[in-house]
Amino acid sequence: MALNKFERRLLANQYQILSLLDQHNADQYEKLQEALEKGYESYYHDEIFGWIFDGLSESESTLVIDAMDMYLAIQRAYDTLDDKAEIEERRTEFPGFDGNHETAYMSYARFVVEREGRFSLLKPSSADFNSHTPMLDRYRRMIDNWKLTANQYDLTPDEITAILDS
């Protein structure tokens, strides 16, 4: 990411202030300040921006929330079933998103649970929400089927199976 001189000056000033406030890390801040002032993009790019993600659009964020909401509805409906023999409980656990190809989605799911405190009753397959396999296309199909049900939050065994088989 190329920065113009004004942007580099602003960031360099911030690092100068940080070096004065945090003597323990002053050397690192001074290196970044110098790299910004001299325009060493190859150095400051990774150091400053390497850990900043592109993020998710509103529609992508909505997909994460819808997938989690759908799985919560499936889990609640499953828990109320008298006869659970037709559906394996493991299938009702929220798989998450692929850590290699859907990283931003996985990170947002974690953020929603860990930082926002939402979906505390959702049972994930793994604590880190990493499905280890791409899930986006599957979730889109599942959500489409879920939204076609008569009552999304009072699912029948057949509706649970149909959604999970999508």
Enumerate the domain spans of the chain: 5-49, 58-164
| 79 within 8 A of 63, measured Cβ to Cβ | no
**CB proximity list for 71: less than 8 A, separation 6 or greater:** 92, 93, 94, 122
Sign of the alpha-carbon torsion through 34, 36, 38, 43: positive
CA-to-CA distance for 61 and 71, rounded, in angstroms?
A: 16
| pLDDT more than 70, % of the chain | 100
What pTM value is reported for the model? 0.80
- Give the least confident one: 38-47, 64-73, 144-153: 38-47
- Which pair of tokens denotes residue 30? 């001074």
| pLDDT more than 90, % of the chain | 88
pLDDT value of position 162: 97
Does 5-49 match 58-164 in CATH topology?
Answer: no
For the domain bounded by 58-164, which CATH number is listed? Answer: 1.10.3190.10
Q: Is the pLDDT of residue 158 over 90?
A: yes
Q: Is the pLDDT of residue 149 over 80?
A: yes
Q: How far is CA 68 from the centre of its chain?
A: 11
For the domain bounded by 5-49, which CATH number is listed? Answer: 1.10.287
